[in-house]
């Protein structure tokens, strides 16, 4: 999975277990994770789909505690525009679930230096080990390839922010 790919590159990765498997019910879960690992000097948050929107909300309230956010197949409904956070939106070209109009409408919520990365051939479900999602497109690449391309984009963003 994607976190394993990032961990193989030397990043400390933790997956927060969300109540009822919905990030909405665990928006502040990252705070506890961060408190449990004081040896980590630099934090980034990532979330997928609804988890990405909740990661953006967490980032808005903790901009002084983290370096940036990766929103996978998601957009920021929370205002991050006045923060110094590095924010990358990453989605698949074949994603038919992500609302592109909402993505465009919420672009003003992002810091000016934000990056949008399109994983060619990827789809919504390709960011995780997920069953097919209703309405999603057909991937032109394997999930493993999407994980690798996403890990590369994440690695590049973190290196650029240093």
How many H helices and E strands in the chain?
5, 4
Locate 125 and state its tokens.
Answer: 């479900």
Q: Please report which confidence band the pLDDT of residue 24 belongs to, taking 50, 70 and 90 as the band edges.
A: low
Domain segments of the chain: what residues? 2-161
Distance CA 125, CA 150 (A): 13
What dotted CATH number matches 2-161? 3.40.50.1820
Mean of the pLDDT values across residues 83-102?
97
**Across 77-99, average pLDDT:** 97
- pTM: predicted TM-score of the whole model, two decimal places: 0.93
What would the pLDDT profile of 54-72 be if each residue is shown by its tens digit? 999 999 999 999 999 999 9
Confidence of residue 128 (pLDDT cuts 50, 70, 90): confident
Mean pLDDT of 25-50: 91
pLDDT on residue 17 = 85
């Amino acid at each position: 999975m994607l976190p394993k790919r990032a961990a193989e590159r030397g990043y400390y990765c933790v997956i927060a277990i969300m109540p009822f498997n919905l990030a909405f019910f665990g928006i502040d879960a990252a705070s506890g994770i961060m408190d449990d690992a004081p040896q980590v000097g630099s934090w980034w948050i990532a979330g997928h789909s609804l988890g990405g929107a909740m990661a953006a909300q967490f980032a808005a309230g903790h901009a002084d505690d983290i370096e940036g956010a990766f929103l996978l197949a998601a957009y920021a409904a929370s205002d991050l525009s006045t923060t110094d956070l590095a924010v990358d939106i990453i989605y698949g070209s074949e994603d038919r679930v992500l609302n592109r109009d909402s993505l465009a409408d919420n672009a003003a919520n992002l810091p000016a230096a934000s990056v949008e990365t399109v994983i060619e051939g990827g789809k919504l479900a390709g960011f995780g080990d997920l069953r097919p999602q209703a309405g999603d497109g057909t991937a032109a690449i394997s999930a493993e390839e999407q994980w690798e391309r996403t890990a590369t984009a994440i690695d590049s963003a973190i290196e650029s922010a240093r």
